[in-house]
């Protein structure tokens, strides 16, 4: 048995040996893996949001208000499902701005105001671009 350490020798053995050292070397790898999965999942979500916004914009252009209201409802539900990802990826002002604009969008669709619906959709699109630009 050795009682003295040689300079440069692994001192982690005294505190639990390799098990102690392995726990802390795997942690950064796990964090990097988690972040990359979140980012890749976020990219997929981004396209889904943009497709739904384009669908709503198309139905507004054709004055199909029933389809517009359904699209707004689906967009709102998608936002609620993915809100936690947006909170991790973006700033509070950005994801709260989407929340406010969704309410404006609902009211504008009920009032059948084409201009206001398109403005709200553009604002939501802008907030999403800010969130997903990393």
Q: For the chain, which residues make up each domain, given as ranges?
A: 42-132
What residue ranges of the chain have pLDDT lower than 70? 1-27, 34-45, 134
User: Residue 110: enclosing H or E segment and its boundaries?
Assistant: helix 92-111
- Multiple choice CATH, 42-132, 1.10.1060.10, 1.20.120.290, 3.30.590.10, 3.30.365.10: 1.20.120.290
pTM summary value: 0.67
Phi-psi region of 71 (alpha: psi -120 to 50; beta: other; left: phi over 0): alpha
- Digit-coded pLDDT (tens) for 78-114: 999 988 888 888 888 888 899 999 999 999 999 999 9
- Closest residue by Cα to residue 102 from 85, 129, 84, 127: 127
Q: Half-sphere exposure (CA, 13 Å, Cβ side) for 50?
A: 11
User: What three-state secondary structure class fits 62?
Assistant: coil
DSSP state of 5: P
Give me the pLDDT at residue 87, please.
84
């Amino acid at each position: 048995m050795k009682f003295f350490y040689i300079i440069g020798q692994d001192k982690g053995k005294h505190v639990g040996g390799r098990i102690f050292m392995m726990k802390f070397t795997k942690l950064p790898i796990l964090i990097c893996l988690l972040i990359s999965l979140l980012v890749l999942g976020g990219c997929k979500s981004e396209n889904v949001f943009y497709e739904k916004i384009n669908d709503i914009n198309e139905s507004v252009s054709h004055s199909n208000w029933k389809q517009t209201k359904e699209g707004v409802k689906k967009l709102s539900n998608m936002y609620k499902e993915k809100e936690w990802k947006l909170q991790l990826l973006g700033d509070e002002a950005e994801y709260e701005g989407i929340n406010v604009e969704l309410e404006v969008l609902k009211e504008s669709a009920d009032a059948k105001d084409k201009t206001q619906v398109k403005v709200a959709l553009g604002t939501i699109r802008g907030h999403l671009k800010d969130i997903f630009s990393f």
